[in-house]
Structure 1
Amino acid sequence: MGKDADPRECSVADALQVVGERWTLLVIRELVYGVRRFDGIARNTGAARDILTTRLRKLEDAGIVRREPYSSRPARYEYHLTAKGLELGEVLAVLMKWGDRYLNPDDPPVRWIHTCGERLETEVVCAHCGRPAMEGGHPTGRGARTA
């Protein structure tokens, strides 16, 4: 890409500025799973403490995570997803479906059970007609140029 290149405007690129990094998505995964404390998140993600601290701070600044104290001496916090953060759980569920299908087809390591008691199967469909989202769809808007 030359220095005169004009990158495509896109909400995907904007979202990746906030969550498009491995440790960030793994932190969100842990919070979706119900792990709230720093040490548990660190253990389950494998992230170094300094990296985890930076990611949690970035998620808090973006309004995706909120800190709540659970001890005053010493000061310790639990981390909770905000409504904005909970919606990212849906993104992770779709990403997990892809990983199960193409990377772990014989033995998915995790299965989600919905509150109704059945296995959760994610589907991305058109809210209007109910057909799969990528079936004949196309982008439109100011960032949708093709050349």
Structure 2
Amino acid sequence: MNRWAVAALVLGVLALAVWVVAGRNTGAAALPEVPAGGYAEISVSTLGKLLETPKEERGFVLLNVHVPYAGEIPGTDLLLPYNRLPEFADRLPQDKTTPIVLYCRSGAMSRMAAKTLVQMGYTRVYDVPGGMNAWRTSGGNLVFKKR
């Protein structure tokens, strides 16, 4: 094989690798930047795409903060009350750079929880405006587990 054929083969493999990686950019890497000292919002559409990644590869924690329990989005990792997050600090990721995606039923509780997590030192906090209501409106299902 001459060097031009080898170069073409290497370029082809690199192009394929870039295409595969770009197509799988559905985990934590796909989350938007968070402003310093704040949190970011993501849509239910974005959340749906993120949840297509297998749970062990996601790279973020999905946290339902709604009280009382009103169901959950499939794939939820934790259920903690929005108004008692500091009490449950031991259940939250110890690495404060771990992305945490929050939701509640309508968005009000998760917005308050996002502010609390930022005050607790978390730097990659994401809120899903509209919460479970928006999730259902977009065609998503909720699961109800005995708690």
Q: What TM-score does the superposition give when structure 2 sets the normalisation length?
A: 0.28
Q: What TM-score does the superposition give when structure 1 sets the normalisation length?
A: 0.28
Which structure is richer in relative contact order (CA contacts within 8 A, separation 6 or more)? 2
